[in-house]
Amino acid sequence: MTNLTEVIYTGSKWFGKITAIGNGALVMIVCVILILWGLSLSISVINDTKTTIGSGVITKVDCSSEVKQVCKTNKYCLSKSKLNCEERCENTTSHNCLISYKYTVGEKEYVNNKREITSTKMFSVDQKINVLYNPENPNESEIDNNISEAAIGTLMVTAGTIGIVGTYMFVNYVVNNNDAAASFGVYNMFNSLTKKQH
């Protein structure tokens, strides 16, 4: 009985270590892609000529609304038994808006238009906005919606870095801790068997 227990423990331990390393490698690859993607977004903003921020005001908002029905099936639906497979539908409204706005650069006033598709009517007449414009050609501009590509890029780089550090710590812990490796191995074997049964 002792020898059988040792065999099971050893097998689970090595399976856990190999699984941890394999899963960790995949997660790290995804995190590296996320970091590179984030860096590319941040660099594109730095190289973009529309980097000057000015203040403006919305002069006209012309919106058309569209209601769509979105249906989803429960993600835990079991294909064989058809349990929990009811389809749930809900209506979503999108607003297609043509926005006119004006802004001043130096002593000259400029007027521009932008089309926005949003889930909520986030724009209104006389609303103050930030405008990104090209200092070499102020006629080229766009509305700054606060969540800029630079901010998104920074979040992606941060998330990717945290993911790499966290994954490394987890894999290092499992590889250097036999009990943790055995537990992780048993969990993954049980999880694999459960999926095969379904």
Give per-residue pLDDT as tens, 75-115: 555 554 555 566 677 777 777 888 899 999 888 999 998 88
Residue 83: inside a domain, yes or no?
A: yes
Residue recorded with tokens 């043509």? 98
Q: What is the pLDDT of residue 83?
A: 52
Phi-psi region of 82 (alpha: psi -120 to 50; beta: other; left: phi over 0): left
Instruction: Please tell me the number of Cα atoms within 13 Å of 75 on its side-chain side.
Output: 0
- Specify if 98 maps to a domain: yes
Residue 79 covered by a domain: yes
Q: What are the percentages of helix, strand and coil residues in the chain, rounded to 5? A: 45, 35, 20
Residue 68 counted as domain residue: yes
44 compared with 45, residue with greater pLDDT? 44
Residue 65 covered by a domain: yes
Strands (E), the chain: 52-73, 87-105, 108-118, 128-134, 137-144
Domain of 69 in residue numbering reads as 57-148
Mean pLDDT of 27-35: 94
In a domain, 176, yes or no: no
The pLDDT value recorded for residue 25 is 94
Would you state the pLDDT for residue 67?
73
User: Does a structural domain hold residue 70?
Assistant: yes
The number of folded domains in the chain is: 1
